[in-house]
Amino acid sequence: MSSTAERAPRYIDAINQALAEAMAEDDTVVVIGIDVGAGEGIFRVTRGLFERFGPERVIDTPISEMGYVGAAVGAAMTGLRPIVEIMFMDFLGVCLDPIMNQAAKLPYMTAGALSVPIVFRTQTGAGRSAGAQHSQSLEAMLAHVPGLKVVMPATVTDAHDLLLAAVRDPDPVVYVENRRLYATRARLDRDPLPLGVARVAAVGEDVTVVTWGQSLRECLTAAEGGSPSLEVVDLRSLVPLDMETVLASVRKTGRLLVVHEAVQDFGAGAEIAARVADELFDDLRAPVRRLGAPAVPMPFSPDLERALLPSAVAIAAVAEKLTRES
């Protein structure tokens, strides 16, 4: 490339662009969080927004997630569309009540009299030696709460398009980024898929591999081997969950492997596996398999951390075993 300007945007650039577009489109959209203003965010996702939109719409808060997340939920109830940044997904532990007991439930409890159009932006992911308190993938916990939508973009295009869709949505949405994807580059696809529709990221014949977020990269790498032939489905969101795309793929291949970076026990993969078993038991040529992290705190050690996360090699090995079980 002759210049930086000609390079494809990064995942982090796509998020920043979507934030700016959402704020320009609707003056009720505000960004709230720790150091999101002049500091441009811990990962600089909000760079340039403070200068462009000012302190009344890009609001720095004290280091008190419970306080500012609760305030943002109240703001959403009274006419604003807040985008709330929670630095690490792990920090949901100190501000879960306004998310799951207020934002998620108030539209139902008021019979629709109150709307809570709010986006909770957070980032997740192991692989950076950030330790057990900064590396958790807790999307299954959030997907378990009725009233919350949960999106997990794996591509540059989805980082942009799903954030805009989340801001425009009338319901509370948890938008989960993965910091290991921030530097990835790709051109934006100008024919976006709507929220709640899965994408077939690689066409194959032997095994359906369902995944989301950072794990998509490992699954696509595994699929490049060609044997067995893997059909990779990127869910893009856990809520809404596009089971029709998953079921159509499994009907074709007869085999299913669900891969996620989160702990395997009690994870979203179990829900997908159960639904496929309920719908397609007679079509399955092998037992449904899951591949996730073991149920241990994520270690700081790079070698130990790497050993716990699903890799392309491990995915290919489980897929190959599935074909032998037929």
Tens of pLDDT, residues 218-243 = 999 999 988 899 999 999 999 999 99
Domains 8-181 and 199-324 share a fold: yes
Residues 274, 279: Cα–Cα separation, whole Å:
9
Judge contact between 16 and 46, C-beta under 8 A: yes
Q: Which residues pair with 258 in a beta bridge?
A: 210, 290
Single-letter residue type at 86: I
Residues 243, 44: Cα–Cα separation, whole Å:
35
Phi-psi map region of 286: left, alpha, beta (phi>0 left; psi -120 to 50 alpha): beta
Residues 11, 235: Cα–Cα separation, whole Å:
18
Can you give the length of the chain in residues?
326
Q: State the average pLDDT for the chain.
A: 95
Single-letter residue type at 167: V
So what's the pLDDT on residue 192?
85
Residue-wise pLDDT tens digits, 55-105: 999 999 999 999 999 999 999 999 999 999 999 999 999 999 999 999 999
Helices (H), 11-91: 11-25, 49-53, 65-77
Out of 40, 85, 134, 139, pick the active-site residue: 134
So what's the pLDDT on residue 155?
97
- CA–CA distance from 221 to each of 59, 107, 233 (Å)? 40, 42, 13
Mark whether 218 is an active-site residue.
no
Res 4 pLDDT > 80: no
Flag whether the pTM goes above 0.85.
Answer: yes
So what's the pLDDT on residue 1?
41
Residue-wise pLDDT tens digits, 31-41: 999 999 999 99
Out of 65, 85, 139, 261, pick the active-site residue: 65
So what's the pLDDT on residue 2?
45
Q: Which residues pair with 189 in a beta bridge?
A: none
Residue-wise pLDDT tens digits, 150-204: 999 999 999 999 999 999 999 999 999 999 999 999 999 888 899 999 999 999 9
Exposure string of 162-189, with b = 16+ CB inside 10 Å and e = fewer, is bbbbbbbbebbbbbbbbbbbbebeeebe
CATH superfamily of the 8-181 domain = Thiamin diphosphate (ThDP)-binding fold, Pyr/PP domains (3.40.50.970)
Q: What percent of the chain has pLDDT over 70?
A: 98
Residues 104, 35: Cα–Cα separation, whole Å:
26
Mark whether 65 is an active-site residue.
yes
Judge contact between 180 and 165, C-beta under 8 A: no
Kindly report the CATH number that applies to the domain delimited by 199-324. Answer: 3.40.50.920
Helices (H), the chain: 11-25, 49-53, 65-77, 96-97, 106-109, 139-143, 156-168, 215-223, 243-253, 268-280, 302-308, 312-324
- Spatial CB neighbours of 64, under 8 Å, sequence gap ≥ 6: none
Single-letter residue type at 298: M
Q: Where in the chain are the domains?
A: 8-181, 199-324
